[in-house]
Chains A and B, each alone.
Chain A
């Protein structure tokens, strides 16, 4: 049960990308995002798009799921493109009242749009192919060195997993309490804003009490199993790099090299 909660966007299927170590996916996504901002040339972007297409193909996740994430940033993208288009000084192409579209403006706007699209799709691939629990595991391991600076890495990761685990439970609980109060004549839909806020009291109070009760029970159960934080704690399924993970790292490095190379090539050829 704990393994298969579906939250956010995880898309369950069988693929090599799904099986990769979460550290590879986290690190790879980070490098990919950085690379998008380092490659300054359209040939570099072509390499990035090709790489992304290959990963999506390997992940067996339908493309429409990737595009879903785009809706959320549509507004942000419009603003970015708009600003870049109109407010970049340079050689003027079209002039509208006080705003003017410049050659440089078009260039940066297109650059920005391409970067944003690939950035969102790239990170979607990670969240679509990794369970939230795996993701927190990966983060815990990657941020492990920060413990030297007294950052409570394990505790934060544990809190994240618990929070994620409890979301479906509390959703179900909300539904149950809502129904129980509706059966007692409560009305959650009608009325003005004040009445609606007031109507939430019979829902929120029991919900909070239940959350505290569950937290208490969980804390007790953890203590009964001698949980004492991350100190000296081992994992049942420790993250171990396997052959495919090493290959994946190699692919990422090759991609970076190809992207940078393409940029130089582009400038060398003068396109």
Chain B
């Protein structure tokens, strides 16, 4: 198990009239190498949850274990945890500050106390992984496009060689093409390196295609925690908490209701097309 959350609670503004329970008794186990989607409406506690995972927020009660060690132990090295659990915030391009792309990506590994050579090697490697064109490496990060800036920011975290990568809404504010590119690249990275990836999002469509497991958060609690198919089967309940299943789920259910024997568990467009062809008794030509 890479990470275990054991009855984690978090209360904002304890002892004030504004006291709210942001996390309510969260128990999760995240094995090595899994691609997990964390889905929830705004204010469901998903961002709070992920800030716990690298120790930026401390739980009001409960324990978090990373590789078998309690991160709330007195002599636990938080800095090491943060290098092992990389956290990419929402709109990460807002954290860029260096004079060129390359130095900005170097910031993380440099903070780990690595020597110059190792730092630069890691930065190159990270920039290559996010697929940023070489000619941009020595440009000011502020001259890049939105999508490119975001890649640089993600590279900045990747350069720390984390075992677990957590991304908070990595596609917010990107156009559909940029969104698909980033998500594909993250998936690629996960399969290549065997890294554990947690993808926080409010859109089922975003994650359906890529993840092995979906955790649905609502009002600080875990509502569902299962593989995508099983979670989407609860599409009516998901709607009740302000989320939606992918559009194909709706279409397939509607087709089923109108008498076509399709498999309603298909989660991607590809699978949906296959099951529709199968139900019509036709062979799909690709």
Which positions in A face B, CB cutoff 8 Å? Answer: 173, 176-177, 179-187, 201-202, 205-206, 209-210
In the complex, 7 of the A-B residue pairs with CB atoms within 8 angstroms, ordered by the A residue number, are A176-B94, A180-B94, A181-B95, A185-B112, A186-B111, A205-B97, A206-B96
Does A201 contact B79, Cβ atoms closer than 8 Å? Answer: no
Contact residues in A for B156 (Cβ distance below 8 Å): 184
Does A179 contact B82, Cβ atoms closer than 8 Å? Answer: no
Contact residues in B for A179 (Cβ distance below 8 Å): 51, 56, 89
Q: In the complex the two chains form, what is the Cα distance from A202 to B79 in whole Å?
A: 17
Quote the shortest CB–CB distance from B61 to chain A (angstroms). 22
Contact residues in B for A180 (Cβ distance below 8 Å): 87, 89, 92, 94-95
Q: In the complex the two chains form, what is the Cα distance from A209 to B142 in whole Å?
A: 10
Q: Which chain A residue shows the least CB distance to B105?
A: A184
Q: In the complex the two chains form, what is the Cα distance from A215 to B112 in whole Å?
A: 35
Which residues of B from 136 to 164 have beta carbons under 8 Å from A?
A: 142, 156-157, 160
Decide: A183 near B94, CB < 8 A? Known: A202-B107, A209-B142. no
Does A184 contact B94, Cβ atoms closer than 8 Å? Answer: no
Does A183 contact B111, Cβ atoms closer than 8 Å? Answer: no
Decide: A177 near B56, CB < 8 A? Known: A184-B107, A184-B160. no
For residue B246, CB closer than 8 A to chain A, the reply is: no
Q: Which chain A residue shows the least CB distance to B92?
A: A180
Decide: A187 near B79, CB < 8 A? Known: A202-B97, A206-B95, A210-B94. yes
For residue B228, CB closer than 8 A to chain A, the reply is: no
Q: Which chain A residue shows the least CB distance to B85?
A: A183
Quote the shortest CB–CB distance from B245 to chain A (angstroms). 31
Does A183 contact B87, Cβ atoms closer than 8 Å? Answer: yes
Which positions in B face A, CB cutoff 8 Å? Answer: 51, 54, 56, 79, 82-83, 86-87, 89, 92, 94-97, 107-108, 111-112, 142, 156-157, 160
Decide: A185 near B111, CB < 8 A? Known: A176-B89, A179-B51, A179-B89. yes
Does A183 contact B79, Cβ atoms closer than 8 Å? Answer: no
Q: In the complex the two chains form, what is the Cα distance from A184 to B97 in whole Å?
A: 13
Does A184 contact B157, Cβ atoms closer than 8 Å? Answer: yes
Q: Which chain A residue shows the least CB distance to B54?
A: A183
Q: In the complex the two chains form, what is the Cα distance from A173 to B96 in whole Å?
A: 14
Does B95 contact A185, Cβ atoms closer than 8 Å? Answer: no
Q: In the complex the two chains form, what is the Cα distance from A177 to B156 in whole Å?
A: 14
Q: Which chain B residue shows the least CB distance to A186?
A: B111
Q: In the complex the two chains form, what is the Cα distance from A67 to B89 in whole Å?
A: 42
Does B83 contact A185, Cβ atoms closer than 8 Å? Answer: yes
Contact residues in A for B96 (Cβ distance below 8 Å): 206
Q: In the complex the two chains form, what is the Cα distance from A168 to B111 in whole Å?
A: 30
Q: Which chain A residue shows the least CB distance to B159?
A: A184
Does B157 contact A183, Cβ atoms closer than 8 Å? Answer: yes
Decide: A182 near B82, CB < 8 A? Known: A177-B94, A201-B97, A209-B142. yes
Contact residues in A for B56 (Cβ distance below 8 Å): 179, 182-183
Q: In the complex the two chains form, what is the Cα distance from A177 to B112 in whole Å?
A: 19
Q: Which chain A residue shows the least CB distance to B83?
A: A185
Q: In the complex the two chains form, what is the Cα distance from A184 to B108 in whole Å?
A: 5
Q: Which chain B residue shows the least CB distance to A209?
A: B142
Quote the shortest CB–CB distance from B157 to chain A (angstroms). 6
Quote the shortest CB–CB distance from B187 to chain A (angstroms). 22
Quote the shortest CB–CB distance from B200 to chain A (angstroms). 14
17 more A-B contacts (CB under 8 A) besides A183-B56, A201-B97? Answer: A177-B94, A177-B95, A179-B89, A180-B94, A183-B86, A183-B157, A184-B82, A184-B107, A184-B160, A185-B83, A185-B107, A185-B108, A202-B95, A202-B107, A205-B97, A206-B95, A209-B94
Q: In the complex the two chains form, what is the Cα distance from A183 to B157 in whole Å?
A: 8
Does B97 contact A206, Cβ atoms closer than 8 Å? Answer: yes
Contact residues in B for A185 (Cβ distance below 8 Å): 79, 82-83, 107-108, 111-112, 160
Contact residues in B for A176 (Cβ distance below 8 Å): 89, 94
Decide: A183 near B142, CB < 8 A? Known: A177-B94, A206-B97. no
Q: In the complex the two chains form, what is the Cα distance from A56 to B89 in whole Å?
A: 46
Does A187 contact B97, Cβ atoms closer than 8 Å? Answer: no
Does A206 contact B111, Cβ atoms closer than 8 Å? Answer: no
Does A183 contact B82, Cβ atoms closer than 8 Å? Answer: yes
